[in-house]
Amino acid sequence: MSTYAGKEPSSISYTAVADITGGRNGHAVSHNPDLALDLDTPKAMGGQENGTNPEQLFAIGWGACFQGAMGLAGKELRVAATKLAQSKVRVHISLGDEGESFGIKARIEVVLPGIDQETAQRLVDRTQELCPYSKATAGNVPTELVVVDSLD
């Protein structure tokens, strides 16, 4: 067994479990609740796109986590929950060559209607400090945070 050092939570509230067979061109099943997905390599990397790829799943997970953490940052910065309810988050996960294998980078775009640019940037920066996905990737995944007017 191998373990890696890191800052561990003081208590565990939930543990997700997923079984994967076949790697990028396989199948994944999560438990409680059950979710089954066929996996496939992106077409740009030679796949058929007959399934979801890990980068899509990572983008979805990080985006949902980031938007949830924005609620904590919003309370701290006294941003109205009604304004945060109108927010949108788009996460780009890019995969490319890195030495002998591959590496990823991220771009997180955030739309915050009705919030001035300075407050929006402070909110996004604080969210980056609070989000568990952001903390897990800090110093390992180049990440660009951008406040945008729309996702169109």
DSSP string covering 64-90, please? Answer: HHHHHHHHHHHHHHT--HHHHTT-EEE
pLDDT (tens digit, 9 = 90+) per residue, 48-91? Answer: 989 999 999 999 999 999 999 999 999 999 999 999 999 999 99
* Per-residue pLDDT, 37: 95
For the chain, domains (ranges, CATH) are 1-52 (2.20.25.10), 54-148 (3.30.300.20)
pLDDT (tens digit, 9 = 90+) per residue, 7-62? Answer: 788 999 999 999 999 999 999 999 988 999 999 999 998 999 899 999 999 999 99
Q: What is the mean pLDDT of the segment spanning 91-119? A: 95
* Per-residue pLDDT, 119: 97
Closest CA to 25 of 43, 5, 6: 43
pTM of the entire structure? Answer: 0.92
